[in-house]
Amino acid sequence: MSIQTRQGNTLNHRLRALAVAALTVLIVTAGLAACGSNAAGSDSLKQTGKTTAVVVGVCPGPYGDMVTEVIAPLLKDKGYVLTTKLFNDYVQPNKALNAGSIQANLFQHINYLKKFSSDNHLAITALGQVPTLGLGIYSNKYTKLSQIPDGATVAIANDASNLARSLGVLEQNGLITVKAGIDDTKATVNDIATNPKHLTIKTLDAAQLARSLDSVDVSLVPGNFAWAANLKPAKALAFERQSAGVINVVAVRTTDKDTAFAKAVKRLLVSQTFKDAIAKSKFADFGKPTTW
């Protein structure tokens, strides 16, 4: 074989080897990209070493403290480091969760979650209930329901689920009645059947209800905003009778509902460990989950 032929064969071998190597790199890169895409779609949690960082959206009120003081320490042993991000309304925590900028939230009851998710086409799922401070009737002018005068102005939340919830609390306490056959999670001011005290119902953003007490006679304030405003539960004229629909829940994106983190949260929320931790905390007197 000539020197020229041998050199040609050697060059051909090298070219084939380079082609094989390049193809291998392309295959491996494509495989890694595909795996990365699947992982991002199923779980937006970030791992650092042996721990996983989780940002939980909360609103003003007790639930940020509940995350920080009770839930986070109990999940730390499972490898999760929880921090909170504060939102000042009921809208952004769900939108941020759906967008993946936070990994969970704790601020809303299941009735609100279902209504808001449906109206805004969000895929969000509740993992379980937590002890919840109920909606209370507060006043800076009166100390008993019987003192509320004819024609008094009553402030209630303007979002659909909490508006219906507030009407239910007014009905529970004999101040109004709601038309028969109305879904108690969808009632509006137009569904009031009787109003014997001729109350003027004023709808406000839930975050404004505690502040409205200086300008209205009575305000129905959800527990988290009452807590944030330092309204003392003992000074409430009355509290709602809590059903499962108004117990607050930890929520995640629906695509994350079967992740290891979601399963850890589900187990924790019904565990005796969590119940005991709550019993020793400042949340001991909150309404208890119906799952306990």
Please state the three-class secondary structure of the chain as a single string: CCHHHHHHHHHHHHHHHHHHHHHHHHHHHHHHHHHHHHHHHHCCCEEECCEEEEEEEECCCHHHHHHHHHHHHHHHCCCEEEEEEECCCCCHHHHHHHHCCCCEEEEEEHHHHHHHHHHHCCCEEEEEECCECCCEEECCCCCCHHHCCCCCEEEEECCHHHHHHHHHHHHHCCCCEECCCCCCCCCCHHHEEECCCCCEEEEECHHHCCHHHHCCCEEEECHHHHHHCCCCHHHCCEECCCCHHHCEEEEEEHHHCCCHHHHHHHHHHCCHHHHHHHHCCCCCCCECCCCC
Name residue 266's amino acid.
Answer: K
Q: What is the pLDDT of residues 128-181, one digit of tens each?
A: 999 999 999 999 999 999 999 999 999 999 998 899 999 999 999 999 999 999
**Is the model's pLDDT at 256 over the cut of 60?**
yes
Number of C-beta neighbours around residue 278 at 10 A:
21
Backbone angles phi, psi at 139, to 5 degrees: -155, 140
**Is the model's pLDDT at 5 over the cut of 70?**
no
Percent of the chain with pLDDT over 90: 75
Domain 136-241 falls in which CATH fold? D-Maltodextrin-Binding Protein; domain 2 (3.40.190)
In this prediction, residue 184 carries a pLDDT of: 83
In this prediction, residue 275 carries a pLDDT of: 98
**Is the model's pLDDT at 22 over the cut of 90?**
no
Q: Does domain 46-132+246-279 have CATH number 3.60.10.10?
A: no
Q: What is the pLDDT of residues 60-104, one digit of tens each?
A: 889 999 999 999 999 999 999 999 999 999 999 999 999 999 999
The stretch 215-228 carries a mean pLDDT of: 94
Question: Where do the structural domains in the chain lie, given as residue ranges?
Answer: 46-132+246-279, 136-241
In this prediction, residue 185 carries a pLDDT of: 85
- Reported for 3-11, long-range contacts at CB under 8 A and 24+ positions apart, including other chains, are none
In this prediction, residue 48 carries a pLDDT of: 65
From residue 102, give the alpha-carbon distance in Å to each of 54, 141, 183. 7, 41, 33
